[in-house]
Amino acid sequence: MWRKGIKIFLLSLTAIGLFIAWSIEDWSQTAQGELPSKTAVILHAVNNNLVPMDIDIEAPNFLSSAPVSNSDAKMLRDDLSIPVTGEESIPVRVYRYSDAEDAPVLIYYHGGAFLDNYGNLDTHDNIMRSLASRTGAVVISPGYRTAPEHVFPTAVNDSYDALLWAEENAERFGGSPDKIAVAGDSAGGNLAAVTAMKARDENGPDLFAQLLYYPLTTFQDKNLDSRTTYDSGEFLLSRQVMMQARDAYTPDASMWSNPYSSPLGVADLEGLPPAYIVTAEFDPLRDEGELYGKYLHEHGVPVKTVRYEGVMHGFVSFYEIMKSGDRALTESARFLQTASQGETTTDEKYAVKNQHGPGGFVRMREEAEAFAIGAFLVGKSTMEWLD
């Protein structure tokens, strides 16, 4: 009798395993191509609201590591409020090592489509912490004001004011006012790029680098393949949200061609700091990020552009569970270290480097983790259906 019970148990276990594997395979199939398993399960979780997330996503709660607190012996966090133009103030978050001295300063602008409730200091806290940890830099992230209440150029002005504040207060946190870089993702990538431009134009801080994760570089209507191929929202960023962002943040069409909203259309990019641009294969913003890198190169700016294959918009936020995101942060830290030492060079020809997904043992681990996440999602969906 017990043997029959074991057989039934094993058959049931096999059937469940096959169903999970079939589900992941089904989630992997898209009109734009087959997704890696890890990408597929994460997108399935987000698109079906199986985990709580915003448009620019932090790691799911059930998989993310514990946040750093002020009680940490090595890493300190400060939440402050700083003055900006118009006698207003905005929140700022600072991460730094307790023994920081003459450290580089990195101003990080979070993503979120320039809109209220789409991204903030908390949704991007994990990226700030990771960059501070990997680089030893003082990471300062401003909570710039967003649309629809605050339209262009409010976010740009807030971003630049935060840069000036960081230069003035760098030594207070163990940072060097002479070693400042800017960084950001998506909408924040746009702000990082235009802040670098504004610093050049207004004789502001001499930045040593700009780090741009899948940046939005133009509000103008451009014939870009990635904008139409991956705009369904299936890959975390939809055309609907992009149009909503444009209508709210730049409500006047004359704003779309302004250099501080659309750096891709700027005629003169000379004198900007060395750039490291990260794009994602399945991302409507992919082409404009890579094209901006090309224009920077044509104007003599040292630039390295890397396209991560098999991933979607916002993938760096998933570095705790996606190896590609972890690698992007590691390579970013390496670039910042090189740039801070003034060792960047300009290649003769511009080329986008394709970063393939993990292979070997790491790929096997990714597949195993994808199966585990898939099992969790199938179980969660089943329980919700039964309820």
Q: Give 32-80 pLDDT, tens digit per residue.
A: 778 887 888 888 888 777 665 543 333 344 333 334 444 444 899 999 9
Of 223 and 381, which is predicted with more confidence? 223
Segment 144-168 shows an average pLDDT of 97
Beta carbons of 357 and 328 less than 8 angstroms apart = no
**Of these residues, 161, 313, 317, 340, which one is catalytic?**
313
Gap between the Cα atoms of 28 and 275, Å rounded: 33
User: What's the pLDDT score for residue 22?
Assistant: 61
pLDDT computed for residue 324 by the predictor:
94
Q: How far apart are CA 190 and CA 264, in angstroms?
A: 10
Whether 17 has a pLDDT exceeding 80, the answer reads: no
% of the chain with per-residue pLDDT over 70? 84
Give per-residue pLDDT as tens, 290-336. 999 999 999 999 999 999 999 999 999 999 999 999 999 999 999 99
Q: Per the residue annotation, which of 186, 262, 324, 332 is the catalytic one? A: 186
Give Cβ neighbours of residue 147 (< 8 Å, ≥ 6 apart). 114, 115, 116, 155, 245, 248, 249
Band of pLDDT at residue 15, cut at 50, 70 and 90: low
- Phi first, then psi: what are they for 303, rounded to 5°? -145, 140
Of 158, 161, 185, 283, catalytic:
283
Please name each of the domains of the chain with its CATH number.
Answer: 75-359 (3.40.50.1820)
Evaluate if residue 19 carries a pLDDT over 70.
no
Query: Is the pLDDT confidence value at 14 over 90?
Result: no
pLDDT of residue 375: 74
Q: Which residue has the higher pLDDT, 350 or 362?
A: 350
Amino acid at site 85: T
Q: Can you give the length of the chain in residues?
A: 387
Over residues 351-373, mean pLDDT: 82
Q: Specify the pLDDT at position 70.
A: 40
Instruction: Tell me: cis bond preceding 153? Omega within 30 of 0 counts.
Output: yes
Please tell me the distance from the alpha carbon of residue 13 to that of residue 38, in angstroms, as a whole number: 22
Predicted pLDDT at 381: 64
Rounded-to-integer distance, Cα 291 and Cα 8, Å: 58
Reported as half-sphere exposure (CB side, CA atoms, 13 A), residue 249 has a value of 30
Q: What is the structure's pLDDT at 359?
A: 77
297: which residues sit within 8 A by CB, 6+ positions away?
303, 346, 347, 350
State the Cα–Cα distance between residues 98 and 115, nearest whole angstrom.
Answer: 34
| Orientation of helix 2-28 relative to helix 360-386, angle to 10° | 100
Amino acid at 382: T
CA 195 to CA 181: how far, in whole Å?
10
Residue 119 has pLDDT above 60, yes or no: yes
Beta bridge partners of 89: 83
Evaluate if residue 361 carries a pLDDT over 90.
no
Angle at 311 between CA 305 and CA 314, to 5 degrees: 80
Q: Active-site residue 110, yes or no?
A: no
Asked if residue 237 has pLDDT above 80, the reply is: yes
Tell me the three-class secondary structure of the chain, residue by residue: CHHHHHHHHHHHHHHHHHHHHHHHHHHHEECCEECCHHHHHHHHHHHCCCCCCCCCCCCCCCCCCCCCCCCCCCEEEEEEEEEECCCEEEEEEEEEECCCCCEEEEEEECCCCCECCCCCCCCCHHHHHHHHHHHCCEEEEECCCCECCCCCCHHHHHHHHHHHHHHHHHHHHCEEEEEEEEEEECHHHHHHHHHHHHHHHCCCCCCCEEEEECCCCCCCCCCCHHHHHCCECCCCCEHHHHHHHHHHHCCCHHHHHCCCCCHHHCCCCCCCCCEEEEEEEECCCHHHHHHHHHHHHHCCCCEEEEEEEEEECCHHHHCCCCHHHHHHHHHHHHHHHHHHCCCCCCCCCCCEEEECCCCHHHHHHHHHHHHHHHHHHHHHHHHHHHC
pLDDT in tens, 130-150: 999 999 999 999 999 999 999
Give the tokens for residue 214. Answer: 């899948």
313 classed as catalytic: yes
d(CA 217, CA 260) in angstroms, rounded, equals 10
What the block records as the tokens of 49 is 């609201």
Q: How far apart are CA 213 and CA 17, in angstroms?
A: 36
For residue 370, the one-letter residue type is A
Q: CA 370 to CA 169: how far, in whole Å?
A: 44
Residue 246: pLDDT over 70: yes
The pLDDT value recorded for residue 41 is 81
Q: Is the pLDDT of residue 183 over 80?
A: yes
